[in-house]
Structure 1
Amino acid sequence: MYQTTTIKDKYKLMLKMIVPILVTQVAMYLISFFDILMSSRYGTADLAGVSIGSSIWMPIYIGLSGILLAITPIVSQLVGAKKELDAKKAVQQGIYVAILLAVLIFSVLLVGIDWILGNMNLETSVHNIAKSYIYAMCAGILPLFLFCVLRCFIDALGQTRVTMMITLLTTPINIMLNYIFIFGKFGAPELGGIGAGVATAITYWLIFFITVWIIAKHVPFERFRIFHDWPKLEWLRWKEILIIGVPIGISLFAETSIFSAVTMMMSSFSTEIIAAHQIALNFTSLLYMVPLSISMGVTILVGFEIGAGRMQDARIYSYLCVATAILFSFISACILFLLREPVANMYTTDREVIEYAVQFLVFAAIFQLSDAIQAPVQGALRGYKDVMITFIMAIISYWVIGLPVGYTLATHTDFGPFGYWIGLVAGLTTGAITLLIRLLLVQKRFTSTSKVKIAN
């Protein structure tokens, strides 16, 4: 990380930061993407089971791991202020928090998954596949959460290409393990969709061990000595992590869980509709990796500039990131709309599933713009450590507006399952508008505070 003076230099640094994050996010997402894609090739029941399992797993994981994202703005601001020892201590306490969260989610899923699935109107085969998939994924919770903390540390130092290289190494391995355990190759048991969970858990452990080795042995990470001189639990550092991280986690949970809630509410429709919905959601989530990566990059950039006391630079980075995301969203929406049938054909050969998926993808194209605005704006707000109002806005946008609108349209109009997607569009649009207003207010407050300090 370094100071920039011109718009051109800022854009270069932004791209230098964001492109590796994008590659990392896509590589990480491809793990879930290929879980669903390869399960769909094994059978429709396996596709539906993995889809349901993934819909339960993802919001819980994202919500709790989102708490750990607090490490990024904390460390980036400390590094910007040249307080490296404090940055090390923050990461170590983050590791303690990650272990606690991993134990918590492991216990809840192990005990509660039968109850959750039992309240859904699922075919027996789909129920069993979803349950076993979740059980398999539980074996990878601890390394995944620990990796989240270590990745936040690496990224906060501006070394986003390192995490890119780690995930580029492990993603092909995950695909190969999927092939082995789903289809029973090379003497392994033929597990169908359940094998996707087994393969992913093994991959998470691999990612974790590689990351530990790099941080312990390579420049510039080794000078922090993260794995030496372990401190006792420090409540004040836990408090900072939780005060910033819990609202981030709740915001992410509110956003991702609405998609999972829609998937589960669609369990009243046919297996073909569930599968088609998941196809559209799965591919749209892949496109979302771009605004999400911009969001993660702007958190680092804004946090670094705030730590160094350069408020105007932080503001410029915010605007550059939002503008870049909007441009991409326009392009991706056009591609998604024009190529929706080839996309559906990539997942399945079932004609009924394809017909439904093509229609779902139309709505997916529509909310690309809202996604492109709200993601980088949230990232910028995290860089300012402004998270409380953001999570309140997320709850209102998604759960007070989005889901009720979708449910009403799906159950009381002729839109049927497509009504849920209209509700998603309404929620995302509301979130984008309110978050943008919040960012402008926060920037104005920080600029005013900075001027007062200079005057004094």
Structure 2
Amino acid sequence: MNQTFTSREKIKQLLTILIPILITQLAMYSMSFFDTMMSGHYSSEDLAGVAIGSSLWLPVFTGLSGILLSITPIVAQLIGGKKRQEVPNSVIQGIYLACVMAIIVLIAGSFALNPILNAMKLEEAVHLKAYGFLAALSYGMLPLFVYNVLRSFMDALGKTRVTMFITLMALPINIIFNYLLIFGKMGFPELGGIGSGYATAITYWLITLIAIIIVHKSLPFSSFGIFRKLYSVSLSKWKEILLIGVPIGFAIFFETSIFAAVTLFMSNFSTVTIAAHQAALNFASFLYMVPLSISMALTIVIGFEIGAKRFKDAKEYSWIGITIAVLMAFLCGVVLFFTRTEVAAIYSKDQEVIQLTAQFLIYAIFFQLSDAIAAPVQGALRGYKDVNMTLIMTLISYWVIGLPFGYYLANYTSWGAFGYWIGLIIGLAAGAICLSSRLIMIQRKNVIYQKKLAK
């Protein structure tokens, strides 16, 4: 990355970093998209099972990987502050921590998964599909967490095209193995939706191995010598990663787990309603990759500017990012409104599922508008390393405001299942307002600090 002096230069540098991140995120999420979509074409039970499995896995993965996202602002600020000699140890300690986290998740999952699925009171076929999918996916958990550290390192250097190419190479492999293992082609076992879990696990191993090779052998990454020295475990470095990462991870967890909670409550509805809800939620999450990518790009550029104590530039980057996100959300919302039935047909051949999914997708449009503000603001705050207040605001907005309101509408009014979606929209909007207020306050503090430095 380079220092920028005009708004045009900032927009150009932000887009240079953002576009590869967006392509990467869309490709990564496409794995879940194709898992759900291809399973839906196998059977409605497989669609419901894989969608529920994905909705349970997503908050766990995004929450814990959010902890590892702290590597991005840490490395970005080290580079901005010209302390590159400290980068290798930070990355290796992140890898150690990633391995420990993956092992803990595997052990916890082996005890907790069945009780959680039992509490949902699913139809037996859907229960078995969800369990089988998550069990298969667990084989790729360790490499996935390691990959997130390596990706955070590469992205922090502004080389987001590299992770884009890695993911684009892996996506066709995931689709091919989905086809082979879901439908039992070319002598492979016919596993239905469970096969998509194995396909995704194979893909996770592939992208991690590719990332390790690139970091070790290709410039500019190899110049850091990440794997040239065996570092001992540093609890102080773990503490630094966790102090920044845990609030990030929990904030992301509170945001994503609310969708899993809604899925839990939705289990009281019919299989058709569950399938339609999950299909619509899957596509809404797919669109969420746009503001999420902008959020990740803002963390990189703002972290770089804050490391160099260029507070005015950091502020300008944040508002450029939010503006881009809002414009993209409006565009996506208009397109989705006019193509919602066609989008619903991607997930199922069942006309009842298609019609209900199309109705849910109308509410998804309003998701995009709130996310277009909340996600980039969170990314900007991470660049400032301001993460604790974000955690509190996210918890209150989603769990104290959004979910209770949605539960009331779904169970005590005529809105039914749509009530949960209205509650989610209210929670997202509240989060966007609170987080924006926090960002403005942080920026004002930095202006005062910069004036003191000038004196």
TM range (shorter): over 0.9
Counterpart in 1 of 2:3?
Answer: 3
Give runs of aligned pairs for residues 39-54 of structure 1, distance below 5 A: 39-54=39-54
Distance 1:46 1:315 in 2: 47
- SS in structure 1 opposite 2:41? helix
The amino acid across from 1:58 in the alignment is L
Q: 1:282 maps to which residue?
A: 282
Distance 1:452 1:103 in 2: 47
CA distance in 2 between partners of 1:211 and 1:402 (Å): 39
C-alpha separation in 1, matches of 2:239 and 2:449: 24
Partner of 1:2, secondary structure, is coil
Counterpart residue number, 2:69: 69
1:334 offset after TM fit, Å?
Answer: 1.0
| Cα deviation 1:132-169 (Å, max 9, x = unaligned) | 11111110000000000000000000000000000000
Percent identical residues? 56
What's the CA shift string for 1:162-189, capped at 9, x where partnerless?
0000000000110000000000111110
Displacement after TM superposition at 1:454 (Å): 2.7
1:33 is displaced (CA, Å) by 0.4
Q: CA deviation at 1:110?
A: 1.6
What is aligned with 2:399? 399
State the AA in 2 paired with 1:78: L
Structure 1 residues 280-299: Cα deviation after superposition (integer angstroms, max 9, x where no partner)? 11111111111100000000
CA distance in 1, matches of 2:276, 2:322: 31
Residue 92 of structure 1 aligns to which amino acid in structure 2? I
Distance in 2 of aligned mates of 1:357 and 1:428 = 21
1:71-150 paired onto structure 2 within 5 Å:
71-150=71-150
Structure 1 unaligned spans of 5+ = none
Does 2:218 align with 1:223?
no
Report the residue type matching 2:72 in the other structure.
Answer: T
Return the alpha-carbon distance in structure 2 between the equivalents of residues 425 and 120 of structure 1.
23
Q: Output the CA distance in 1 between the equivalents of 2:264 and 2:350.
A: 21
Cross-structure match for 2:323:
323
Determine if the alignment matches structure 1 residue 356 to structure 2 residue 356. Answer: yes
Other structure's SS at 2:3 match:
coil
1:236-255 superposed matches below 5 A: 236-255=236-255
User: How far, CA to CA, are the matches of 2:25 and 2:355 in structure 1?
Assistant: 29
Instruction: Compare 75-84 and 224-233 and name the one that shifted more.
Output: 224-233
Aligned residue for 1:196?
196
Residue matched to 2:260: 260
**Contact kept in structure 1, 2:284 and 2:367, CA below 8 Å:** no
Aligned-pair distance for 1:411? Answer: 0.2
How far is the alpha carbon of 1:349 from its aligned partner? 1.6
Q: Residues of 2 paired with 1:175 and 1:447: CA distance? A: 49
Distance 1:238 1:453 in 2: 31
**How many Å apart are 1:13 and its aligned residue?**
0.3
SS at match of 2:267: helix
Question: Structure 2 length as normaliser, TM-score?
Answer: 0.99
Q: Residues of 2 paired with 1:57 and 1:291: CA distance? A: 21
- Give the gaps of 5 or more residues in structure 2: none
Distance 1:356 1:46 in 2: 18
Per the TM alignment, residue 111 of structure 1 is displaced from its structure 2 partner at its CA by 1.8
> Which residue of 2 is the match for residue 234 of structure 1?
234
Partner of 2:152: 152
State TM-score, norm by structure 1: 0.99
Deviation of 1:88 after TM superposition, in Å, equals 1.3
**How is 1:301-312 mapped onto 2 (pairs within 5 angstroms)?**
301-312=301-312
Give the distance between the partners of 2:289 and 2:115, measured in 1 at CA.
Answer: 32
Q: Aligned partners of 2:63 and 2:167: how far apart in 1?
A: 21
1:386 counterpart SS class: coil
Please give the secondary structure, in 1, of the residue aligned with 2:416: coil
**CA RMSD, aligned part only?**
0.7
Structure-1 separation of matches of 2:260 and 2:424: 11
1:417 equivalent to 2:413? Answer no
Deviation sequence 1:43-95 (CA, Å, 0-9, x none):
00000000111111110111111100000000000001111111111111111
Runs of 4+ aligned structure 1 residues displaced above 6 Å come to: none
SS in 1 for 2:232: coil
**Aligned-pair CA distance for 1:230:** 2.1
Superposed CA offset, 1:367-392 (max 9, x none): 21101000000000000000000010
Aligned equivalents of 2:453, 2:150: Cα separation in 1: 34
